[in-house]
Structure 1
Amino acid sequence: MLDKSHKANIRERGLLTKTPFLHSLTGNALARMLDSAHVYSMPARANVFREGEPALAFYCVLAGYVRLYRVSRDGRQADIRICAPGDVFAECLIFGGEKYRFSAQAAENVSLARFDMQDVRELAEQDTQVAKAIMTALSGHLLSTMDCVVNDRLHTAPQRVADYLINRCPTATGTASIRLPFQKNLLAGMLGLAPEALSRAFSSLRRTGVTVRGRVIQIGDVEALKQI
């Protein structure tokens, strides 16, 4: 649960201004959004909110990672998204939905900016800049969701892992080294895989020179990885 908060300070306002959600805002629209932000710090595994609770606010990640997930009737969990610094989540409920449709949990120590749903709804009705920023964020998430669905249906587990690594490679050829920004169980959820399926995928990629040591991934041949 969220506890103590404070108004966004100069550094935090600067971070918010650079996020995809707010970077297009100027003048009074930007000032009013920044003034409405309350910043919280939360420890790892703390719940931001739970599925079914009243949807009173949406959030922007300033530091750390937040896991969005749903729980089935038999207790199984399915990750929906891993939110990184700069990402907003639950803004899809600004114009619809009285309750959260998923749960949000701090994957590690996080800093979040909280925006009141009703306040931002009123701002959007008064200022087209704010309304456009919301629509842009929603459009981006819809396109991302479509990509995830296609990825799940067309790509094998090794291909999903390979694509993730290739997109983060610092070089297009030769060898490369990547450090995961979070635990491998979060990567599994992000890619729509069970942890054991992720382990098997990494094992199958050894033939391309991929080795795993903790969070560090060594790639022996980037071009060979692209052929998976």
Structure 2
Amino acid sequence: MNSNSKLDNRDRAVLMKTSFMQGLSTNSAIRVLSAMSVLNLPVRHSIFREGEKAELFYCVLSGYVRLYRLSHEGREADIRICGPGDSFAECLLYSDNAYAYNAQTAEHSALAAFDMQMIRDIASEEKDVAQAVMASLSRHLLSIIDCVANDRLFTAPQRVANYILARCPVDGGPALIRLPFQKSLLAGMLGLAPEALSRAFSTLRKSGVTVRGRAIQVVDVANLRNV
């Protein structure tokens, strides 16, 4: 693990577009960045475990991070897959001081790590920082509501179809998209077991969806909307 890296231009651009950093004054942004370090982590690196003392929250600059919980029997349940621009664990800024889930890199990743106590101190003095924290928490809450609704309203094939449609570059006709990560991560993102994802892809073949590795070919985007 390398925790001495500095923000390069690409990572800075990703960070400054997050809901947590957008809208900060120059002075506030400088203070917030002073409470941050950059971590370069290998694949499957444990960032933190459920129950550990929460001292940092994070923003993904590159790569993907898997948030999950473990049952007493060792079964895993994915909570969220975080990609570039996503933040996690900031919900603990004003809550319990222990992480409520596990976080692990799904591939080589660069993370911005923020010291919670320093951010709390800055937010108490800088109104725009406090507002940025609330905006980030609000975005997470709305995202959770969407996830719960999707689990209740859509079948597994519909969830997969919606994911594909949201990333198709055209509204009709053929399209080709490429998954940015392994299908096991897509399953977790959609709240499906890997075998349920495989069955969903098999069902979607009738609607013109073909999967080869990470490449997904759609014969007719308009037809896929009828799933």
Cα distance in structure 2, aligned partners of 1:9 and 1:89:
19
User: After TM superposition, what 4+ stretches of structure 1 lie above 3 angstroms from structure 2?
Assistant: 7-10, 12-15
**C-alpha RMSD of matched pairs (Å):** 1.1
Displacement of 1:6: 2.2
> For the residues of structure 2 that align with 1:113 and 1:14, how far apart are their CA atoms?
12
How many residues of Structure 1 are paired with residues of Structure 2 in the alignment?
Answer: 226
Residue 7 of structure 1, CA deviation: 6.0
Q: CA deviation at 1:75?
A: 1.0
- Whole-Å separation in 1 of the counterparts to 2:37 and 2:14: 13
Distance verdict in 2 for CA 1:225–1:10, change over 3 Å: closer
1:8 matched to 2:11: no
Q: CA deviation at 1:164?
A: 0.5
User: Aligned with 2:163: secondary structure?
Assistant: helix
- Report how far residue 4 of structure 1 moved: 3.6
Residue-by-residue CA offset, 1:104-154 (whole Å, 9 max, x unaligned): 000000000100110101111111111111100100010000000010011
Q: Deviations over 1:168-187 (max 9, x none)?
A: 11001001001001000000
**Aligned equivalent of 2:56:** 57
Residues in 1 aligned to 2:138 and 2:18: alpha-carbon distance in whole angstroms? 16
Matches of 1:10 and 1:222 in 2, distance apart? 38
Q: Deviations over 1:13-43 (max 9, x none)?
A: 4432232320211221111111221001001
Question: Is 1:92 the equivalent of 2:87?
Answer: no
How much has 1:10 moved relative to structure 2? 5.0
Query: What TM-score do you get using the length of structure 2 for normalisation?
Result: 0.96
CA contact (8 A) 1:16 1:34 kept: no
Aligned to 2:206: 207
- Aligned with 1:5: secondary structure? strand
Letter in 1 for 2:203: S
Question: Partner residue of 2:71?
Answer: 72
8 Å contact kept, 2:79–2:189: yes
Secondary structure of the residue aligned to 2:95 is: coil
Q: Residue 95 of structure 1: SS of its match in structure 2? A: coil
Query: Offset of 1:74 from its aligned partner?
Result: 1.2
Deviations along 1:18-73, whole A, 9 cap, x unmatched?
32320211221111111221001001100010111001100011110000000111
- Separation in structure 1 between the aligned mates of residue 14 and residue 148 of structure 2, nearest angstrom: 31
**2:111 counterpart letter in structure 1:** L
Matches within 5 A, 1:63-212: 63-212=62-211
Q: Distance in 1 between matches of 2:225 and 2:109?
A: 34
Partner Cα distance (1:13, 1:122) in 2: 23
Q: What percentage of aligned pairs have identical amino acids? A: 58
Q: Which moved more, 1:201-210 or 1:7-16?
A: 7-16
Residue identity opposite 2:156 in structure 1: A
Q: Contact (CA 8 Å) 2:176, 2:217: kept in 1 or not? A: yes
Give the C-alpha shift of residue 98 in structure 1.
1.0
Structure 2: gaps spanning 5 or more residues: none
CA contact (8 A) 1:7 1:35 kept: no
